[in-house]
């Protein structure tokens, strides 16, 4: 049933991609999904050179105030970023019938399909995605029965480089809070099972009426995002509104996710973000969704809590939290909140009402 719905939605996407904007109008994208640019603000998402001797302090400040920043000198070879982008382009350029051979199954995580968060929105988003958890081989073989190894090699190498960067970022993020990687038992001993999300946003005939990927926070500890040279990503900042995260060649975007929000006891709030579409350019992005080993319990770090600052969240594992997110979407974080006047109501990061696009 769910698969039918997903497949139908994907097919509908290809249908409206061919027929033009009429389909979108029929489905009636509401005003709440119109973009709200805030270009008058001087606020810009921080760009941090990871080789800067002050990197730790800068990263900590960016996490506290923005929950998103870009990094340069991050150690990931530029040509690997290009190869990954080319692999994504090749995948999305396949005929729809071919892509559907690797469709995500009803309860599965990996494969081709519409954004998972689509279930929470009545209208289609102007995007398609491909999620890879674990080995890419099974799905790649369905896409390219004879020539899948190049794609898989790029994915594996990309995941390897991203894992190194994620570790480095975790150590800077925690270090800035006075916590070392050694203080976090699982951080140095166990490997996580990250997800790779390839997103494709075709050029859209009526971009002001469509949304590429609706506003959400990632369930991760952190997400590392590569975007092609086309704008579209926007982050929400309290008091400022939606701010575009401009593509900088070679730079990577880092998002604070919900699990780091919990681990830091709310000191690093997860960032609400979304992807807009445009009239002329095809936009691609590749997100590396990094979390803890799936069955390790994540709760506010004891170093960050005391009688005055009690733990604000209960312990959750990544797999449990992904389930909660799949069920409650933007209410997931407040559903694991423990105490305080906000319990059961609007968390500062609850994203209900106006904050979710
Ligand atoms: C490991 C993850 C993290 C997932 C679920 C699973 C695989 C795909 C990820 C995303 C990627 C796109 C946004 C998001 C919100 C979505 O719909 O799918 C993410 C979600 C999450 O962060 O909750
Ligand atoms: O395409 C983008 O810039 C955002 C993608 C994203 O938020 C995600 O994959 O979680
Ligand atoms: Fe995201």
Note the pLDDT of residue 340. Answer: 60
Reported pTM: 0.88
pLDDT, average across residues 250-254: 98
Q: Residue 22: is its pLDDT beyond 50?
A: no
What confidence category does residue 185 fall into, taking pLDDT thresholds of 50, 70 and 90? confident
Q: What is the mean pLDDT of the chain?
A: 86
pLDDT tens digits, residue range 192-204?
Answer: 889 999 999 999 9
Q: Which residue has the higher pLDDT, 35 or 261?
A: 261
Q: Which residue has the higher pLDDT, 207 or 187?
A: 207
What confidence category does residue 42 fall into, taking pLDDT thresholds of 50, 70 and 90? low
Q: Which atom of ligand 2 is found nearest the CA of 199?
A: 1
How far apart are the CA of 266 and the centre of ligand 2, in A?
22
Among 131, 212, 214, name the best residue to mutate to test ligand 1's pocket (greatest count of ligand atoms within 8 A of Cβ).
131
Q: Residue 27: is its pLDDT beyond 50?
A: no
Residue 124, phi-psi category: left (phi > 0), alpha (psi -120 to 50), beta (remainder): beta
Domain ranges of the chain: 10-21+45-335
Specify the CATH number for 10-21+45-335; select among 2.60.120.330, 2.40.50.140, 3.10.520.10, 2.30.30.280.
Answer: 2.60.120.330
Q: Which residue has the higher pLDDT, 259 or 122?
A: 259
Q: Which atom of ligand 1 is found nearest the CA of 116?
A: 17
Note the pLDDT of residue 5. Answer: 36
Q: What is the ipTM of this complex?
A: 0.99
| Ligand at shortest distance from the CA of 253 | 2
Calpha distance 177→180 (Å, rounded): 9
Q: Residue 264: is its pLDDT beyond 60?
A: yes
| Ligand at shortest distance from the CA of 127 | 2
pLDDT tens digits, residue range 81-126?
Answer: 999 999 999 999 999 999 999 999 988 999 999 999 999 998 899 9
How far apart are the CA of 198 and the centre of ligand 2, in A?
8
- Residue nearest to ligand 1 atom 19, measured at CA: 218
283 has catalytic annotation: yes
Range of weakest confidence among 30-39, 209-218, 226-235 = 30-39
Q: Which atom of ligand 2 is found nearest the CA of 255?
A: 7
Note the pLDDT of residue 23. Answer: 29
């Amino acid at each position: 049933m769910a698969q039918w719905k997903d497949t139908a939605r994907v097919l509908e996407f290809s249908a409206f991609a061919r027929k033009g904007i009429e389909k979108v109008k029929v489905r009636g994208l509401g005003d709440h999904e119109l973009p709200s640019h805030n270009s008058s603000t001087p606020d810009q998402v921080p760009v941090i050179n990871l080789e800067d001797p002050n990197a730790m302090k800068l990263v900590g400040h960016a996490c506290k105030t923005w929950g998103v920043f870009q990094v340069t000198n991050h150690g990931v070879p530029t040509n690997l970023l290009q190869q990954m982008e080319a692999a994504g382009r090749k995948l999305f350029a396949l005929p729809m019938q071919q892509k559907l051979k690797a469709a995500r199954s009803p309860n599965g995580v990996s494969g081709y399909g519409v954004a998972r968060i689509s279930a929470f929105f009545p209208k289609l988003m102007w995007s398609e995605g491909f999620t890879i958890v674990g080995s890419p081989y099974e799905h790649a073989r369905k896409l390219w029965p004879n020539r899948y190894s190049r794609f898989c090699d790029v994915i594996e190498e990309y995941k390897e480089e991203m894992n190194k960067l994620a570790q480095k970022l975790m150590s800077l993020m925690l270090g800035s809070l006075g916590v070392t990687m050694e203080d976090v038992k699982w951080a140095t001993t166990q490997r996580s099972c990250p997800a790779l999300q390839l997103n494709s946003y075709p050029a859209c005939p009526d971009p002001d009426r469509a949304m590429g990927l609706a506003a959400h926070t990632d369930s991760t500890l952190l997400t590392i995002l590569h975007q092609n040279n086309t704008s579209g990503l926007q982050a929400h900042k309290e008091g400022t509104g939606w701010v575009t995260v401009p593509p900088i060649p070679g730079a990577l975007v880092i998002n604070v996710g919900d699990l780091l929000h919990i681990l830091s006891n709310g000191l690093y709030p997860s960032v609400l973000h979304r992807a807009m579409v445009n009239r002329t350019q095809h936009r691609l992005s590749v997100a590396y969704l990094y979390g803890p080993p799936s069955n390790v319990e994540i709760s506010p770090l004891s170093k960050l809590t005391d009688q005055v600052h009690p733990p604000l969240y209960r312990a959750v594992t990544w797999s449990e939290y992904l389930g909660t997110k799949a069920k409650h979407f933007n209410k997931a974080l407040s559903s694991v909140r423990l105490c305080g006047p906000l319990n059961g109501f609007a968390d500062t990061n609850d994203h209900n009402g106006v904050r979710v696009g």
